[in-house]
Amino acid sequence: MRMGGLASGMDTEQIMRDLMRAERMPVDNMVKQRQVVEWQMDAYREVNLKFNEFRNKMVDQFILTSQNLSAKQVTSSNSSLVSATASSSAGNVSLRLTEVNKLARAESNYSTAAISGESKIQTNQALKDQPFNGLTEEDWKSGVAKTQIVRVASPTNTVSFAAGVENLKAAEDTVVKVNGKEYKTVTAEDLQIEGGGTRALSANEVLVEQDGNGGKLTFADGVTVPSGAQVSVTYIQEGGENDVYTTSSITTFDRDGKEIKDTFVIKGTDTLSQVFQQINRSKVGVSAFYDSHGDQVSMTRKETGINNKEEAGAEMKFEGAFFTNALKLDETSANRQVAQNAEFTINGMKTERQTNTFTIDGVTITLKGTTTGAEQVSLNVSTNTDKVFDTIKGFVDDYNELLDFVNGKLGEERYRDYKPLSDEEREAISDKEAERWDERAQSGMLRNDQMIQSVMDRMRSDIYGMVSNNLGSDYNQLSAIGITTSRDYNDRGKLEINEDRLRQAIEADPAGVAAVFNSDGATSGEKGIIRRMRETLTSGIDNISTRAGGMGGKVANHQFTLGRQIESINDRISNFERRLQQVEDRYWRQFTAMEKAMHQANSQAESLFAQLYGGQ
């Protein structure tokens, strides 16, 4: 701690503060200069954020969801029987549906009789302890069922799995699935040919064999398990008397009539609810539940319509003691409600569909009920004028809002006499006065900025320019569809919509109107105004980011112009602060020397005084 003025009696501390305040004036000016640059940077970034939001909104509304400009609507004469929606590719057509005789229906089946005795099945208890009246002890096999998931690291046709210590048994009961597709498992004995030799594996088979202390899967030549594939192996190991299992399967068919089979290894410790969960998650597309009132199980296909192309073929086939004996499911029984296709006549042509919702030439139709007699449902597809209009109006409103914001920044008054406040200046006035001062000091940071003005000028050219397209449409610029510039000078280029003309254009030529906005081509003249403006905004955003940062990965000061300017000012401030410290130290040395000299003079004077008058 420094103390001065003991000899001289002067307030050295205050003198030093006054001296250094004068010395620090250049630093204060540099700090204020830095603050102005930071305000400019913030103003640029605010404009850039608005540009980016407008650009992204245009892309979302007009390019990524281009159907907004070609939206269709469908009216139904009886929506309780038939409803429909239309994509942007649908034509303005009329469809007549008559003789809707059948709706598509999924096949279902339920137990042919009660599955338990006097005491009902408990769905949350182990299966081996349940009173199934059709499941015998012989239907259970001894062994422990385990499942392992193997992730294939690289393409291969052999996969190893852990089966314990040489106790892999019943290889024929091993269930192998690759990405959900089940393969038929065979043993080496199955490949033996009578009379000698062995046959090759077929494409849908996999050889299961013991491999040291583990198991090994070998797929047919030409069948490669791809990298990253999930191979599920459910295998059986030796176990105690209480470790039992059984296998059962369900076969269904896809839309092309190809079989989908899933084999379930059911453990005695599983519950009926767990079995149903396996079935519901399986690729066979079946849902199951137990009805305690009737003591029966119901199985229903998730897919409607006829998929099994065999005549009167069942959509669900059950194999294995658990499904056929315990749950009493039989695809040939009267309890099977057969699947059916939707049958109807459209524009006089009889046809069928596997589902009640289907698409014809961009029109998605949903059948809800059947018709009677000569009852007819008409579907009329037309342009959704309101949605297209609202999309275009939204663009105009957003553009005018952006124009207001940017013109406000470009025309904002610049008060050059209002410099940023220093800390001392801010402490000397009230908070309200400081707030008003800051508003004036920050005003006009982008007044008449040529970079931003250039972006707005190019956007105006993009909007007003003609759009060349190969549609032969009369609509090739905004003015042709009723969108023009405001005649009020104070609006500074805002767009106005003649609603009647715009609606007429949308109804007359929706494709031509859409092309004005989102047409694409090799040249600027062939591009719609949205694509032109997107390119202009992208270029402008990049240029502003180069000056003020904040976007395009330019976040560090050294990556953009104003940031480098701030760094330069910071360096100058740091250098000046070091010089100020040296000046302050010099002043203190001078004051200290003065104090010492005065103290010495005072001491000599006192000594002389004592000698002269000490003896009297």
Q: Each residue of 134-147: pLDDT tens digit?
A: 988 889 988 888 88
Do 544 and 512 belong together in one domain? yes
Do 470 and 524 belong together in one domain? yes
Q: Is the per-residue pLDDT at 284 higher than 90?
A: yes
Q: How far apart are CA 333 and CA 327, in angstroms?
A: 13
Number of domains observed in the structure of the chain: 3
Structure tokens at 372: 């009677």
What per-residue confidence (pLDDT) applies to 521?
Answer: 84
What per-residue confidence (pLDDT) applies to 85?
Answer: 93
- Cα separation values, 513 from 169, 380, 505, Å: 71, 22, 7
What per-residue confidence (pLDDT) applies to 165?
Answer: 46
Pick the residue with more confidence: 92 or 347? 347
Structure tokens at 4: 């001065």
Pick the residue with more confidence: 515 or 64? 515
**Nearest alpha carbon to residue 380 among 70, 103, 91, 81:** 91
Q: Is the per-residue pLDDT at 550 higher than 90?
A: no
Residues 6+ apart with CB under 8 A from 16: 4, 584, 587, 588, 591
Do 433 and 520 belong together in one domain? no
What per-residue confidence (pLDDT) applies to 79?
Answer: 95
Do 346 and 471 belong together in one domain? no
What per-residue confidence (pLDDT) applies to 312?
Answer: 74
Pick the residue with more confidence: 242 or 181? 181
Is 227 among the domain residues? Answer: no
Kind of pairing between the strands at 82-86 and 317-319? unpaired
| Mean per-residue pLDDT of the chain | 88
In three-state secondary structure terms, 349 is strand
Length of the chain: 616
Pick the residue with more confidence: 189 or 470? 189
Do 402 and 522 belong together in one domain? yes
> Which stretch of 88-102, 176-190, 326-340, 579-593 has the lowest confidence by average pLDDT?
579-593
**Nearest alpha carbon to residue 318 among 297, 339, 290:** 297
Do 406 and 496 belong together in one domain? yes
Do 424 and 520 belong together in one domain? no
Which of 555, 571, 591 represents a domain boundary (last residue)?
555
How confident is the model over 423-437, as pLDDT tens digits?
Answer: 888 888 999 999 999
Do 495 and 400 belong together in one domain? yes
What per-residue confidence (pLDDT) applies to 1?
Answer: 46
- Cα separation values, 213 from 176, 565, 607, Å: 19, 71, 111
Q: How far apart are CA 146 and CA 127, in angstroms?
A: 17
Do 353 and 407 belong together in one domain? no
**Nearest alpha carbon to residue 363 among 40, 72, 30, 35:** 72
What per-residue confidence (pLDDT) applies to 242?
Answer: 76
Give the pTM.
0.71
Do 519 and 538 belong together in one domain? yes
> Which stretch of 288-297, 370-379, 508-517, 534-543 has the lowest confidence by average pLDDT?
508-517
- Cα separation values, 303 from 106, 248, 423, 497, Å: 6, 21, 75, 50
**Nearest alpha carbon to residue 545 among 421, 458, 452, 608:** 452
Q: Is the per-residue pLDDT at 577 higher than 60?
A: yes
Beta pairing partners, 105 = 340
Is 441 among the domain residues? Answer: yes
Q: What angle do CA 307, 311, 312 make, to 5 degrees?
A: 80
Do 63 and 76 belong together in one domain? no
What per-residue confidence (pLDDT) applies to 616?
Answer: 54
Q: Is the per-residue pLDDT at 5 higher than 60?
A: no
Q: Is the per-residue pLDDT at 2 higher than 70?
A: no
Q: Is the per-residue pLDDT at 381 higher than 80?
A: yes
Mean pLDDT confidence for 472-488: 87
What per-residue confidence (pLDDT) applies to 371?
Answer: 93
How confident is the model over 10-25, as pLDDT tens digits?
Answer: 666 776 776 667 777 7
Is 566 among the domain residues? Answer: no
What per-residue confidence (pLDDT) applies to 171?
Answer: 63
Do 510 and 430 belong together in one domain? no
Which of 532, 555, 578 represents a domain boundary (last residue)?
555
Mean pLDDT confidence for 29-54: 92
Mean pLDDT confidence for 484-512: 88
Taking each helix axis from N to C end, the angle separating 450-464 and 529-548, rounded to the nearest 10 degrees, works out to 170
* pLDDT above 70: percentage of residues in the chain: 94
Range of the domain at 495: 40-71+394-412+447-555
Confidence of residue 594 (pLDDT cuts 50, 70, 90): confident
What per-residue confidence (pLDDT) applies to 144?
Answer: 84
